[in-house]
Chain A
Amino acid sequence: SQTIHQWPATLVQPVGSPLSLECTVEGTSNPNLYWYRQAAGRGLQLLFYSVGIGQISSEVPQNLSASRPQDRQFILSSKKLLLSDSGFYLCAWSRLAERYEQYFGPGTRLTVT
């Protein structure tokens, strides 16, 4: 069966510090991968998605970037965090043949202080 992992589970970082959040998927190959941010009362905002290694699509201009160094690994990064980067970050995956059905990881709670 497929599983999706995210770490860390929680993170408190000062403004201006770098960020690296990691997501890995097991039990499938060539998945589509997604990063979402969830802010209170605003639902889920799609940040990035990837259909293959090195292929990243950005949905909104922002302080964040994403990379996919391996087939089942997706990394969310920032060089300098802003207060507005605080939120709950969710990684998701989908099968190539059923791209519309996404499966979510447990999330990372990021607090920028």
Chain B
Amino acid sequence: AQSVTQLGSHVSVSEGALVLLRCNYSSSVPPYLFWYVQYPNQGLQLLLKYTTGATLVKGINGFEAEFKKSETSFHLTKPSAHMSDAAEYFCAVSEGRNTDKLIFGTGTRLQVFP
């Protein structure tokens, strides 16, 4: 069965510092991987996705993530945090394209301090 683990329910960084949000997954088949962002009282917005091809994927708002099969990881990074990055971030996995379901992690709340 698929599962997603996000280490750290809360992460705090200073403005301008590196952002690193961790995601590990388990899947019996090559996965498709996603990061979503959620601002307070809003729906989820897709930040980036990995399906096939290049393992380093770039998303919106300067975020990127790298698929590392050997580590079963898909960590989200941003070189320099901005106050507007404060939000909750969800990692999700699906078992390829022939599935109707995404499995979500429990989320990481990012705080950015001035």
Contacts and interface: CB of A to CB of B under 8 A. Distances in A.
A43 B102 contact: no
B107 to A, nearest CB: 5
A88 to B, nearest CB: 8
Which secondary structure dominates chain A's binding surface?
Answer: strand
Interface of A: 4, 6, 32, 41-44, 46, 49, 51, 57, 88, 90, 92, 94, 98-107, 109
28 contacts: A32-B100, A41-B9, A42-B106, A43-B90, A43-B104, A43-B106, A44-B44, A44-B104, A46-B101, A46-B102, A57-B100, A90-B43, A92-B44, A98-B97, A99-B97, A99-B99, A99-B100, A100-B51, A100-B94, A101-B34, A102-B102, A104-B36, A104-B43, A104-B44, A104-B45, A106-B43, A107-B41, A109-B41
